[in-house]
Structure 1
Amino acid sequence: MGGAEARVRAFRLGLRAETRAVWLLRLKGWSILARRFADGPGEVDVIAARGRTLAFVEVKARGDFASAAEAVTLRQQARIGRAAEAFLARRPAYAGYVVTFDVVLVAPGRLPRHIRNAFGL
């Protein structure tokens, strides 16, 4: 498999994982505000709200939950933090919300796992 083909396959896997994560969040009562939000150096997979909580959610798909959890690096956490700052700067209506940084882990044959407050910035 060539490099371009592998990237396309990984991109499609990521989209399917994000879709599964979004459905899980919706079933748990979250409203999805954005998917694949990017602003300058910041990027986050999903932004969701429930009540007065605003969650910036990273989605990780791997062969098992442990590998998926390990894939959320400090560099990615910083990127998500920058996306959160940009999102909040442009949307003052969310200024009073409690902000969390969550992760949804996706593994084959398993329901996705939502981890609240997975990391703090």
Structure 2
Amino acid sequence: MIVVRNFRYKGGEIDIIAKKGSKLSFVEVKGRKVLSFGSAKEAVNYKKQERIKEGAKLFILKNNLDENSFDISFDVISIENNSIEWVENAFT
């Protein structure tokens, strides 16, 4: 179930926050029409990953959630050449 779309915070945005059972997923969606600058998955570099993790912490604090009661997942959905790939636990 999608909990929030486009969660904005100082320093960035998380595209989708979803919950299924005890799993709380923070999802980055990237698309590429041209791969000359790398794949969509490659666009989620270390710096972007750190921003997403910071945003996840802020979301958890803002919503008074106990992070220990969830299995946290950082996922990437890449859209390239009319195909969609969902990479669960893309980074930690």
User: TM-score normalised to the size of structure 1?
Assistant: 0.66
- What SS does the aligned partner of 1:103 have? strand
**Where in structure 1 are there 5+ consecutive unaligned residues?**
1-30
**Residues 44 and 83, structure 1, Cα contact 8 Å, conserved in 2:** yes
The 5-angstrom pairing of residues 7-86 of structure 1 reads 31-63=1-33, 67-86=39-58
Return the match for 2:64 from 92, 99, 109: 92
CA shift for structure 1 position 75: 1.1
* AA in 1 matched with 2:14: V
Q: Percent identity at matched positions?
A: 36
Matched with 1:5 is none
- What SS does the aligned partner of 2:5 have? strand
CA shift for structure 1 position 114: 0.7
Whichever structure has more strand as a proportion of its residues is 2
CA shift for structure 1 position 90: 1.5
Q: Which has the higher contact order (CA 8 A, sep 6+)?
A: 2
* AA in 2 matched with 1:74: Y
**Where in structure 2 are there 5+ consecutive unaligned residues?**
none
Whichever structure has more helix as a proportion of its residues is 1
CA RMSD in angstroms, aligned pairs only: 1.8
* AA in 1 matched with 2:51: R
User: TM-score normalised to the size of structure 2?
Assistant: 0.85
